Each structure stands twice: as C-alpha cells, then as structure tokens.
Structure 1
Amino acid sequence: MSVMPDNSLASAQWGSTPNPRLAGARPQVPAADQTLRILSLLARQPGPIAARTIATQLGVPRSSVYHLLATLEEHGFVVHLPAERRWGLGTAAFELAGGYTRQQPLAHLGRTLIAALADRAGESAHLAVMTGRDVLYLVEERAPRRPALVTDVGVRLPAHLTASGRSMLAALPREQVRALYPDAASFADRTGRGPARPGELRDLLREVRGRGYALEDGEVTLGLASVGVAVLDHIGWPIAAIAVTYPTDSARDAGTLAAHLAPVASELGRRIGGARR
C-alpha cells in the first residue's frame, strides 16, 4: 500500500490541485511550459533573436526549441527571418495582445482622456490598438460639427494607411515590421494613396520616427487627414495609439495637433503602467 504525499492528501481533502511550481515539482506538461516560456522571452525582446539564444536563456535543448518554434510558426505565433536567422513574434501573438487590451480597462482609462483631447483640439479623437496588420478602434469622440468617421468603435482598418497604425509601426523593431509586411501583397488599399511596397513603408516610418508623430492625408477617407502618436509600455513597445482627424481643407497645423496628443499619450501610458513619453 502506497502512502499519499502530504500535499496530495491536502489536495484530495480540499478538492484542489497543488501548484507544481509551489510544490517544487517539474511541470506536468513540459512542452506547454517551454512553449509559453519561449513566447514570454520573445515578448520581452526589443527585436527578433536567434534560436540558440532562446535555448541558452531558457535552458532548453536546441532541438526542442526548433521543434516548438516550427509549431508556433505554423500557427502564426512566431515568424522566422531566414536572412538574419532570427525569430520574432507573429501576427497571432498580436491578436492575443489585442484581445488582452480589449478585455482590460484600456478603453475605460482612455475614454475621459480622449474626450478631453477632442475638446481641446476641436477635432474628433480616437484610441486604437494593433491587431495583426490592422488597427482596432476602442474609443471615438466626435467633435461638434465634424463629419462622421469610419473609425467607429470596433472597426478595423489597415494599419499602414492610418496615423494610429503608422505611429505604432514606427515604434516596432524594423524586423518585426518586415515580418508583418514581407511583400506587396501585404498592402491593402482604400483610396489609391499610401505605401504599396515594403520599401515605401520603410521610408514612411523613418519619417514618422524623425518627426515624432504620424500623419495620413486622404489614405483612409478622401478629404480627411489624421495625426497619431503611439502609447508605449515600460520597454518602449507600442500598446496603443491616439489620433485626431480633421478635414483637409480646415488648414489645421499637424504639429500643433501633435502637441495636444503627446501629453495625452504620456498620461495614458502612465495610467496603464507604461513609461512616460
């Protein structure tokens, strides 16, 4: 007759399963544990890293790392950059991040800030997050006597065409952008304007980084332009973006509008535990 260990006996008595970490035991599903550790490691990096780096940092055999990465790549959670022999997060990981963002109080925390921004700027303002190659709008505040926009709550638009999306793409590692937009087939079009090739997007994002904010003019809706600024987390990763949209013929100065956006992005980042801009 075998004797049940004390922690198992307690588990049986109280109807709970002991945490293997707390009990000092090995994970009951090593592959799942290693997979989650790989994703967590990639999420903490400023850019894609080599498989051998993953194996070394996690203490996992390199052969196992390659098998797990291949499975993650098949499901879109990681991407392989053959030229650099590195691995980074894929679009499915962005989907998870967007799902978390939608379920946590980002929209609630940002709503009053976006409303105040629309009042100060006198233009419609919105808050969006990245999800794959799209932006998803979480909050919109329409300014008085301004036209209705396509950026309503729950709407998705191609990130490379929007000021919100461009501000977030400009804050991503260049390798990550290249993985999201590997060729011309990756670029959607709405009005015949905007980047249509990886090189054009690369040049545009270089301008965004140099300027400190993103612009779009007629690429989402003809006759309307937008200015966007990214909200960054504690390691500089873009977790959201805020933007204002205005009629092209209103002669608004983009730099002045961006000056309204910057402190709002900083405050929202502070509220959700990110870094100040």
Structure 2
Amino acid sequence: MPNDLNSTRPQLRVAVAGLGAIGTKVVEALDRGIDGMVLVAVAVRNPAKHRTFIEGLTSKPALLPIEGLADVADMVIECAPSSLLRAIVAPFVRAGKTAMVLSAGALMENEDLIALAKAHGGQIVVPTGALIGLDAVTAAAEGQIHSVRMVTRKPVRGLAGAPYIVANNIDIESITEPLKIFDGTAREAAKGFPANLNVAVALSLAGIGADRTTLQIWADPALTRNVHRVEVAADSASFSMTIENIPSENPKTGRITALSAIAWLRKQRAALRVGT
C-alpha cells in the first residue's frame, strides 16, 4: 500500500498578520482544519481588541508582534494595512520562507522584495483575490499579450478616503450618477487607491506589467457590489471576464478575497490541484 505523503510530511506552520475582514475568515478556516497546515501565530495592532476572538478558537495561536512571526512560522498571510507589508513580508522571504500578500498594490512600492525573495529562496504569493481569470492571463503571458484593459465600477462609499480622491478634491458624497474618476495605468492606480485596487496590480503581475495594464475606475451610487471587467488581447486568445463581488464587512473588500486565500492554502497539500 503506498504511503500517504501528507501523513509523512511535516505540517506547514502558518502565521496571519491582521484580523480584519480577510484575516478573520482565514484564521477561522485554519482553525477548522486545512490539510497540512497549522495556525501557530497571529499579529494584530491591538491584541486586547481581538483576545476574545482568539480565545474562542479551538487551537489558540500565539499573539505576537509582527517581528516575531518569522521565528515561529513557515509562511505568513498578510491581511494588514498596506503600510505594514514590508515589515511583514521581508523577514519571511529573507529566511527562504513564503509570504502570501493580499495588499498586492503595496508591492509596487516594494518591488525589491521580489529580488530579496529570489536571492534567499523565498516566495511571494499573490492569490487571485477578488478577480477571475488570472490563470488565463498567466498562460497567455507565456506567449505575447498585446493589451490588458480593466474597468472597475465601485459603490461610492467603497472609494471614500482614497489618496487620489483626497488629492483631487473629489466630493464623493455629491455623486448622483456614474462618474469616471480615474483613467490610467495599474501602477498609478496602486498609488491613488491603495486599499481598493489590489486586483489591478494582481492582474498586471500576471500579465504585461503595471505600466502597460490600463484601468478605468467609475464611482456608481447605484451599485452595492464591486464590478470588475477585464479585456485581454493576446496571440493565443482574446477574452473578457466580469465579476461582481459582494462586499465583506469592509466595503473596500469583497467576500471572495478571503475565500481565494483559503482555496490557495487547501491546494498546497491537496491530492488533486485544479488550475495553473
């Protein structure tokens, strides 16, 4: 009888940084059980705020500062504000470990982390998140992609407080009909909307880069969901795709984002893996 590889391989020790709408769901899934994974630590800015939640878990992870996670875990899942990305990711990839990044937009300001991971045998993982079709884009990029265009439509409140909105004095609350508020590249969008457009950066990383991936952002007061449409022209295929994301407790984040991270974790030790 063949050996069960999962029974002989050590479990991957997982840490989660941040317990917002995404981090909470990921921690709950790990606590319920994912083959080959064990949750060992969580980092949050306000431990007292989350202590009741942690105490309610079946297997209680350690509550540690960010700088202590790499000492106890094999991989970290970054679910924190984008300003903390570097502090979370760098220690793991420098140690040859894995960091899953949900704040993909922040990679545009920290691209040297990719070189750091390569130099030390680490890995940065950007899950599909609130988008679809990244497998197709990744495959098309093995040939030649001519263009990638994305149009995002968001409820007004989901854009409130974005640096681009503030810098351009856009009165979000006064919008009464669909309004195009941005037209540019994925790199420019990552700077102007760091909490909103991680999907655009993930798309650019899968395809032709942040400077050639173009993006429009529309504020639509009639919407209750984030809507993303992507159009790709390549030498292997031309395709388009649309997704409407139901918001989580945080209106800037779709529910499917956390589920995407959980699905990636399940793939790591699965007997059958579907998708690129």
Asked whether the two chains share a fold, i.e. TM above 0.5, the reply is no
State the structure with bigger RCO (CA 8 A, min sep 6), 1 or 2: 2
Tell me which protein shows more helix as a share of its residues: 1
Larger radius of gyration: 1
Per the shorter chain, which TM-score range? under 0.3
TM-score after normalising by structure 1? 0.25
